[in-house]
Structure 1
Amino acid sequence: MEGIGMAYTETEIEVRYAETDQMGVVYHANYLIWMELGRTRFIESLGLRYFDMEQLGYLSPVIDVAIHYGKPLRYGQNAIVKTWLEEYDGVRVTYGYEIRYAESGEIAITGETKHVCVTKDTFKPVALKRVLKEWHDKYQKAVEGAK
């Protein structure tokens, strides 16, 4: 796992049989799970945890997803999930992803997820810099570090 201030993290995934479909390739929805694993690892690399956010009464639901499929992965192969912070405007956070073959580096998918921070009880959006200053500061630094 990369350290704080890094522009991205990389998470290795071993493709399991249960993640494949009748054609023997990774079922498309599993890429979303792998993106979540990469996103969690990226957030942890900033010294943050979703669990702590939730304990303070906030959630970060996905409000938009885009996935562009390339060459499909298959059972028995390994993938690398590269994750970075694409955009942050104080309210919305967009993570970028590239999932590629560990062995050859070929692209399996590219994509992004957009999130907003909301209160757990009302689901009303909130500005991170008002309610989770540490998250705001670290996201600002991560976006600057990616440029």
Structure 2
Amino acid sequence: MISKSQVVVRYAETDQMGIAHHANYPIWYEIARTDLIKNIGMTYSEMEHMGVMTPLVELGCRYIGTAHYEDILTVEASIAELSPARIRFSYRIFKEGEDKPINTGFTLHAWVNAKTFRPFSMKKHYPDLYQKMESMMETDKK
């Protein structure tokens, strides 16, 4: 499943050249990732209340084009890899009306216990949630 979120570039997100600053892209990834998680029927805060945290382990970001003030962007997010210990999301950002992305990236997160912050097996401790995420990946492969 690919989740699509719209973002309008705000003035405060641009630099002196009028281009969206590079530090905003991971924030836009987070918006799309949060929307993707909602598609499995829960929110990030509900996962946290269950005792699941997803700290960032790695971030990759490739800048291909530019975004400017008031550009309308579509941020696509999907689950690229899933294991009992980790989840990798992939992202593509498009300007309205364009078919080639201006940015691609990924984030890698660990599954950790909210109280101990120790890694755990999502598949073992939350099999239903793991299965929902796994099925989201399978939809992309069809």
- In 2, the alpha carbon distance for the partners of 1:85 and 1:24 equals 32
Q: State how 1:1-147 maps to structure 2 within 5 Å.
A: 7-147=1-141
- In 2, the alpha carbon distance for the partners of 1:106 and 1:74 equals 16
Q: Percent identity?
A: 32
Measured on the aligned residues, the alpha-carbon RMSD in Å equals: 1.1
Equivalent AA in structure 1 for residue 101 of structure 2: I
SS of equivalent residue, structure 1 residue 10: strand
- In 2, the alpha carbon distance for the partners of 1:56 and 1:89 equals 19
- Encode CA deviations 1:34-62: one digit per residue, 9 max, x unaligned: 00000010111111211111112221111
- Alignment-derived partner of residue 3 in structure 1: none
Instruction: Provide TM-score, normalisation by structure 2.
Output: 0.94
SS of equivalent residue, structure 2 residue 89: strand
Unaligned runs of 5+ residues in structure 2 are none
Q: Structure 1 segments of 4 or more deviating over 3 A?
A: none
Contact 1:78/1:103, CA 8 A, preserved across alignment: no
